[in-house]
């Protein structure tokens, strides 16, 4: 028996769009499920070296839940490249100003650090509110939602 490996045309032909409402969901658990769908591990044609995954739309990113004391203890760092150019933002401030970046950073951290990661992250669409401009794609409900509630 030969090992099956999907081709690029097969992977693109089987792409779906999924929408997930992040209201009340735990950030890390949601991010792992989104990363699984972006990679395509929920499909029988999954091939590790190819982009077989689906598109994911996350709405209500501002209502995501975090456990413990992460709101004040977790920080996001940026470095400008200049001496003294390290700036940090707490999770509480990041959720208040840019809640979509929190989910994008969590999902990006759960993907493998290789050339495929940037391609997979482009298929993630995150919106702070309940509206999104992807109605034409007819997104379906998220497939793995019952496991994370």
Residue range 9-21: average pLDDT?
A: 90
pLDDT at position 149, please? 55
Given the candidates 3.40.50.720, 3.90.1180.10, 1.10.10.10, 2.40.50.140, the CATH classification of the domain at 15-66+97-144 is 3.90.1180.10
pLDDT in tens, 125-140: 999 999 999 999 999 9
Residue 90: predicted pLDDT: 97
Q: What is the pTM of this model?
A: 0.90
| Residue 147 reports pLDDT greater than 60 | no
Q: What is the mean pLDDT of residues 4-26?
A: 90
Tell me which residue has tokens 């077989």: 52
Whole-number Å distance between alpha carbons of 111 and 144: 17
CA distances from 105 to 5, 14, 45, 100, 127 (A): 30, 26, 27, 9, 14
């Amino acid at each position: 028996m030969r090992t099956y490996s999907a081709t690029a045309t097969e992977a693109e032909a089987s792409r779906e769009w999924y929408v997930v409402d992040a209201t009340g969901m735990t950030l890390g658990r949601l991010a792992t499920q989104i990363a699984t769908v972006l990679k395509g591990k929920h499909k029988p044609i999954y091939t590790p070296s190819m982009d077989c995954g689906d598109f994911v739309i996350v709405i209500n990113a501002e209502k995501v839940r975090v456990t413990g004391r992460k709101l004040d203890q977790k920080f996001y760092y940026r470095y400008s490249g200049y001496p003294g150019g390290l700036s940090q933002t707490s999770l509480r401030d990041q959720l208040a100003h840019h809640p979509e970046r929190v989910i994008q950073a969590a999902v990006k951290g759960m993907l493998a650090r290789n050339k495929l990661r940037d391609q997979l992250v482009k298929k993630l669409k995150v919106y702070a509110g309940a509206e999104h401009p992807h109605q034409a794609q007819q997104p379906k409900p998220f497939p793995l939602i019952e496991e994370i509630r």
